[in-house]
Structure formats: C-alpha cells, structure tokens
C-alpha cells in the first residue's frame, strides 16, 4: 500500500478510532470459552451443526470471531473490513444459547454470527453510513426486512462491514473498498490488492473468518466481484426475491442484497432465511411464491443431463486454463456443454449508466426523506453540498461527478430515462442472456480476473473479463464459486440462470464446488507476483 493509500485509510481517523474503541470496550469477550473454539475456515453450516449438537456455544463462537477481528482488522494485516462492531452481539449470542438449552432454537441460523454491509439498516445501536461522514448519525433503530428475517431465524448480528463509499456510485474514479469512515479495505490474499467492491468489507471479512457469513448488496458486480476476488461463494439473487427496503439505494431496477460465504451450502442456508415478499418493496410481490429451502436439495444435487452453455471471453492464459479445467469438471459430472458467443450489445453500457444516474437521484431522495430525524441531509443535493464543505475528509482521492450528474437528471418519468431502461433491459435480457440460454439451463463463464493493485492515484485498474453486467441489468440470478488461484489470487466461476432459478444455480455450483475443491484459504501475504497475476488476467 502506498503512502497515500495509508493516508486515505486514516481519513476521518479520530472519529473512526473513537467509535471503534468505544464499541470494542462495550463487548466483553469470554476468553476462556473462546480459546477452545476454532472458527477459522469453519463453514457456516458446520458452525450451525456444532451449535445444534451442543458442541459449542454461540457465546464462544461469537467471542472467537470478535477476537479475530480485534487481532486482524486494525492490527496484524489491518484488513479494515469492519466499520463498526455491534455492542449487543454478545447479548444476542447468550440469548441464542438460552433458547437452545430450552429446546426452542429458531432455526439453523440460531446463534450463527453474521456480518452486515454498512448500507443495510439494523435495529442495533450502530449507524448505517454507506461509509460516508454524511450519514454518521443514521441510527434508525429499525431492521431492513432482510436483516429482520435473519434475526427472526436467530442469527447474531455481529458487525457492520466497510464498503466502497456510497456503494461505488459517487464517482467513476472511486477506489473499491475505500470509504471516508472506514478507510481502505485490503484483500486478505495479498494486502496490496483490491478487495473489489462495493461489498468489500463483507468479502474480506468473511474470507478472513470474521463471521460465518455476510450480507452484501449489488447493483452491478458488488456481490459477485468481491466474492470472486476474496475466494468466496457469492449470490446475486433475482431482483425481487429479497427485499431492498431500508437499504441505502442506487437503483430500484438493479439493487438487491445477496449472501456471501465460504461454501455453497452456507449461501443456500442464508438465502433460505432471506428470501420472501415485503409489502414495502413492490418488486418482491412474487417472492413468497418462489422462495424455497435452498439448502436441503443440495444433498441430491446432480449435473447429469443439465444443459450448460459456456462463454469463453478474451483473457490471459492462466485464467483461460482455470476455466478450461472447470469445464472439464462440469463435463465429468454429466453436464452437456455447448459453447456460445455473447451477442453484440452496442449501447448497453451507456443505457445502464443513464438508468442508474436517474434512479439514484429518485431513490436516494426517497430514502433520505424517510431517514431518522438525526440525519439532517434529506436530498442528494444536500449530500453533494456536504461533500463540498467537507472535501478534505470526503474527497481526498476522488470527486463526486456521478452524484452531480445524477442531480442534473429530470426524474424517472422523463422519456430519456424510460427509453434507456427499455433499451438496457432489451439488450441484457431478450437479446443477451435469453439468446445465450436459448438451448441451455445454465450459463457459465469466468466471473472476473484476479485482483488488481490498490492505486489511490489512478484508482481502480480493472483487468480481465466481467460476467456481472447482463445479469445485473436484466435482474437474473448470478452465482460465483471459487475456481482456484491465478498468480496467487482467487478467481471465480459464474453460474447464471433465468429469474427465480436460484435452486438450479446452487445445485450446479454445489456439484462443481464439491468436485473441484478449488477454494484456497487466504495467506495474508504482503504482495504477490504482479507479472503472474497480470498475465493471468489480460489477453496477450
């Protein structure tokens, strides 16, 4: 990390340090119980099974995660994945233990510690900031419905995770994983490499075993990219399967929360709790009719006879080799493979951009208007003015031109916006994924290339392909599963299907995961061979 990146990590440092010290001091870690409790690389499903058997207590498990955070987030590798600890986490863990002793467990997630991205509201006494100083007083005392569903299943809300500020929408030159409140998240596989974003802290934190699993959000790539770069399984659900209420928004057309964890089974267990209709989010009207137990069918998962289309993007030799090996795994498990090309989709990127900037203004204004009275900034224009007034803290590395462009839009009844949304949906769905899936059940391709260097001067230097755009714009589900390492850095394999076919994706991903066993635990290296990583990502 360069000197400037270190400075960026200290922006707002006094406020952040005191917030961290105060929250840490409020949590008493049961050291004796924790010392015998191993959580590193233990999957969520195994934590759940141990709790069910009485082999461990939630108090001990929660204490063990808190101890790892204390040792590694601001010390040691200094991952900066956590923006705030929940001072009520230990009380929640003890309450779970009491329920289990009484035979009243609320479900398989009861007592399991979960990380929550800090643009998702919780009723706990911590702010929901989107990483911005502008929202540091946003303590609303309410759960987003997706959090309420996890809490109703007994999950322990352990901490809020750092993120790319405003979920990477403030500027086209933003740095993935940087926020004014949280500093720069670091990749646990190579500390000078990007964690991607915007769910950067959830990606790095779950990879580092700071929690059993975590919640991210995605508008375009913000669950699947940090999952791929941090060696995780991540699922962007069908838009409308999981509620978006009480989440700091970008786009009602594309936003969705998604689970991130170290195994497919973990993600399936989380999604089973998260999915469902919400009267406050009209897009979820059909969710109750489609939701299911996504974990139970994995035991009978098979790829025999499953029609798999694969798209081979231009990429470097090492990533191409990983992808070819993954295809061989799928074929050996009975999948029927067919290569497809991606249709020419001229104008999709510009149309998506026009949609996002119009919806950002409308949706963020609505969110801020309904925020707690402690939040004095009630419009996007107020946020822009705040950033200008606090430019030294908020904009030391990049500006807010995307916010300013959004403020200049004319609303979501504007014909220009309506035309852009119709065009983007037509290109991504009808002329894009539906063509590629015409004779297939699932589409697979590399999720993206390996992580690039964190660069506070020239910003994100993205390398390699990206599978996120078409499913993001169309609203289709998208799963990424670890595919191994390229130049010492993780890369993921993407599985994409039609709306509400998450069960199909998870079954296919599970068979691949259990056969390939490609995930490698993070090593917390200072750096890796930059040449090997670059050659793995970029076509010669």
Domains of the chain, by residue range, sit at 13-524
Rounded to the nearest angstrom, the gap between the alpha carbon of residue 455 and the centroid of all alpha carbons in its chain is: 21
Question: Cβ(533)–Cβ(462) under 8 Å?
Answer: no
- Which residues 6+ apart lie within 8 Å of 44 measured at CB? 112, 212, 213, 261, 262, 263, 265, 266, 269, 270
**Is the bond preceding residue 198 a cis peptide, omega within 30 degrees?**
yes
What is the 3-state composition of the chain as percent helix, strand, coil, each rounded to the nearest 5? 40, 15, 45
Decide the pairing of beta strands 307-310 and 82-85: unpaired
C-beta pairs of 458-461 under 8 Å, 24+ apart in sequence? 459/173, 459/174, 459/175, 459/397, 459/398, 460/174, 460/175, 460/176, 460/194
Phi, psi (degrees; rounded to nearest 5) at 161? -100, 150
Looking at residue 21, what is its pLDDT? 36
Environment class of 526 (CB within 10 Å of its CB; exposed 0-12, middle 13-18, buried 19+): exposed
Looking at residue 36, what is its pLDDT? 64
pTM for this structure? 0.94
Looking at residue 539, what is its pLDDT? 53
Looking at residue 257, what is its pLDDT? 99
Looking at residue 461, what is its pLDDT? 82
C-alpha 405/C-alpha 428 separation (Å) is 24
Provide the annotated active-site residues: 117, 198, 222
Largest CA-CA distance found in the chain, in angstroms, rounded = 64
Q: Look up residue 538 and give its DSSP letter.
A: S
C-alpha 218/C-alpha 197 separation (Å) is 9
pLDDT digit string, tens, across residues 317-375: 999 999 999 999 999 999 999 999 999 999 999 999 999 999 999 999 999 999 999 99
Looking at residue 140, what is its pLDDT? 94
Residue stretches of the chain with pLDDT short of 50: 1-25, 31-34, 540
**CATH code assigned to 13-524:** 3.90.1300.10
Residue listed under structure tokens 């056969």: 515
C-alpha 186/C-alpha 184 separation (Å) is 6
Concatenated DSSP letters for 59-74?
HHHHHHHHHHHHHHTS
Question: Cβ(120)–Cβ(147) under 8 Å?
Answer: yes
Number of other CB atoms surrounding residue 350 within 10 Å: 12
**Torsion sign (Cα): 69, 1, 187, 179:** positive
Q: What CA–CA distances, in Å, run from 14 to 32, 383, 486?
A: 32, 22, 38
Angle in degrees, 0-180, between the axes of helices 44-53 and 89-101, rounded to the nearest 10 = 50
Question: Cβ(476)–Cβ(435) under 8 Å?
Answer: no
Number of other CB atoms surrounding residue 525 within 10 Å: 16
**H-assigned helices in 299-347:** 317-332
Residue listed under structure tokens 């479900």: 107
Number of other CB atoms surrounding residue 76 within 10 Å: 12
pLDDT digit string, tens, across residues 466-522: 999 999 999 999 999 999 999 999 999 999 999 999 999 999 999 999 999 999 999
Helix (H, G, I), strand (E, B) or coil at 167: helix
């Amino acid at each position: 990390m360069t000197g400037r990146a270190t400075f960026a990590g200290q922006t707002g440092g006094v406020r952040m340090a005191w917030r961290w010290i105060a929250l840490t001091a409020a949590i008493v870690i049961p050291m004796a119980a924790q010392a015998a409790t191993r959580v590193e690389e233990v999957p969520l499903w195994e934590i759940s099974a141990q709790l069910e058997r009485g082999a461990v207590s939630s108090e001990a498990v929660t204490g063990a995660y808190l101890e790892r955070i204390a040792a590694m987030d601001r010390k040691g590798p200094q991952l900066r994945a956590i923006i705030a600890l929940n001072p009520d986490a230990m009380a929640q863990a003890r309450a779970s233990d009491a329920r289990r002793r009484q035979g009243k467990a609320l479900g398989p997630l009861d007592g399991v510690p979960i990380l929550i991205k800090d643009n998702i509201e919780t009723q706990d006494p911590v702010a929901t900031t989107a990483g911005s100083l502008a929202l540091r007083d946003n303590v609303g005392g309410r759960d987003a419905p997706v959090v309420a569903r996890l809490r109703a299943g007994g999950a322990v809300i352990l901490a809020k995770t750092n993120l790319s500020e405003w979920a990477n929408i403030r500027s086209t030159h933003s740095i993935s994983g940087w926020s004014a409140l949280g500093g720069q998240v670091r990749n646990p596989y190579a500390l000078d490499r990007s964690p991607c974003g915007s769910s950067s802290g959830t990606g790095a934190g779950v990879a580092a075993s700071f929690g059993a699993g975590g919640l991210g959000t995605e508008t375009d790539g913000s669950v699947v990219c940090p999952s791929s770069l941090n060696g995780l399984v991540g699922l962007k659900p069908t838009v409308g399967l999981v509620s978006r209420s009480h989440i700091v928004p970008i786009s009602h057309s594309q936003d969705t929360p998604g689970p991130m964890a170290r195994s497919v089974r973990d993600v399936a267990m989380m999604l089973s709790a998260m999915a469902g209709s919400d009267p406050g989010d009209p897009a979820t009207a059909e969710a109750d009719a489609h939701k299911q137990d996504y974990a139970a069918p994995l035991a009978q998962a098979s790829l025999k006879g499953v029609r798999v289309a694969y798209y081979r993007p231009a990429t470097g030799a090492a990533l191409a080799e990983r992808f070819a090996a993954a295809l061989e795994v799928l074929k050996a498990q009975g999948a029927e493979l067919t290569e497809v090309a991606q249709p020419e989709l001229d104008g999709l990127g510009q149309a998506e951009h026009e949609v996002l900037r119009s919806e950002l203004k409308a949706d963020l204004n609505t969110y801020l208007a309904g925020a707690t009275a402690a939040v004095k900034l009630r419009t996007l224009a107020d946020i822009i003015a705040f950033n200008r007034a606090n430019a030294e803290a908020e904009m030391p590395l990049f500006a807010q031109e995307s916010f300013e462009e959004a403020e200049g839009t004319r609303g979501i009844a504007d014909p220009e916006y309506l035309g852009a949304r119709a065009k983007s949906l037509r290109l991504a769905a009808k002329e894009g994924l539906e063509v590629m899936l015409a004779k297939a059940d699932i589409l697979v391709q590399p999720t993206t290339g390996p992580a690039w260097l964190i660069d506070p001067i020239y910003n994100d230097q993205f390398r390699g392909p990206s599978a996120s755009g078409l499913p993001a714009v169309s609203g289709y589900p998208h799963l990424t599963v670890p595919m191994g390492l390229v130049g010492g850095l993780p890369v993921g394999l993407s599985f994409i299907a039609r709306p509400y076919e998450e069960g199909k994706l998870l079954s296919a991903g599970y068979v691949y995961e259990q056969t390939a066993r490609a995930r490698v635990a993070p090593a917390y290296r200072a750096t890796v061979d930059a040449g090997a990583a670059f050659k793995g990502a970029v076509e010669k």
